[in-house]
Structure 1
């Protein structure tokens, strides 16, 4: 385990960023620009960075959800109460949601002392998102719950990444649900058209499974370009590069299934094509691999959690740690 951040003079190095912390005014791959984050502080000084305990090479929880149901049938299900409690915990512990696309593009423009978290939903289940006849997120769905929690905690951004197959959210193929998500700054990601196991599929079937779903998303949301893929079953194709690039598609990153926290996108350990996720789970079988366990670990003194310095133009980290990946910085200021 790497050394945890220690407060005090001389334990923070701040590097001028080239690609890490791109300001939030940079738009994601959709025609609608993403909202400006609320109440961001002015450029921080070295002293305030130390006070915030900044570590922008720390680890980031990428949480994986599937269904939000009253009666869970597997470790992949959460009740509405469980899901609400987890979001409330994240808000109370100063996490700020970002999308997978934000993570890969290093759009981590967060208030000082806060931590990014990525909320991901697989399979396009109606319990994750559905619209009422009036065009509003249905009560009890994950998106509705997220919006309600964000309303109570203004710094907790109501954004998430939803990975879909054909006919997402149990509706028709008119694209209304996907358009609503894009218009409200949620990320729409590819999960293959028919949830194909890319490891066992022939190469032609791999590229077709990804390209067909890519085309369906673009058809439903004109002008939208999906940039990330959630690998069904967490399985790479035998030729791993086909997860990101093939005939008819090109992606910036791919998500695994169950693991631990993800490295910072400025860490030399970060692999865009193999981003680990944490299954949302607090009790039951294999709970030691679930979100409650990992959030406890990250909150501990040795958890090495990503903590923002509040300045999108710098990368702050403990002086004792290895420098960021070359793409994140070109010059340094040591404090």
Structure 2
């Protein structure tokens, strides 16, 4: 019981992106703006799809779930950073840090699964258009989202239980603006071999498998599109995939950039700055990508904004 109380009393220190006090107001304004844009942009996508009956299709159902997931992923990291800057208190409790790690893992894993599911949806729509309504039934769409959530939650629960058995040293400084699982493991005094093995297995599962599925889907899509005789059909097929491909490249490209930067640089702070690119930027830009590249979404957003303006 005493050991458990000592663990519960632990305090981690989030060092953030910089030590310079003069830059803190700028960081606060920048991240507050990015967070508000992320929340408002993604919620507009959800409201636009929900209010427009023309968009009640599997493609936009998955897009709604992706938008909600992006809001949750950003909410799990940015608000705590803003509070820390405003209060000038960099501490986060052991429980708070563990909750933050868990939320990041759940919604990060969910993002990977949803992107793969959306690629499968585009594959069925283009390669099997006559059977699309039968294959992508409402029951299957809901099942795919629920399975994605259950798989992500199960993986997160396993990581959390592994962290709970660790003991930590006295210097608990995390050179980042949120609690990241690999950073926490580096602070542990006990053996973390099994934890690191589990991280590698999870990365292969939640990055390798969905990415392989996305690549396979788009190889089949490209093969099917090239066999089309109509140039209009080719253009329509590419336009329906363009938004999703852009989001895929943004999410995995920024994640790969962070991985490369962590290898090439010895500075934890530089790696922390790079981590913004995968934990904040994609979630903020996704609504713009879908609204700018998708004609149906632009029309739905215009109608929604028109309704909102008429009520004001």
**TM bracket (short chain):** under 0.3
Structure number with higher relative contact order (C-alpha < 8 Å, ≥ 6 residues apart): 1
- TM-score using structure 1 length: 0.23
**Larger relative strand fraction:** 1
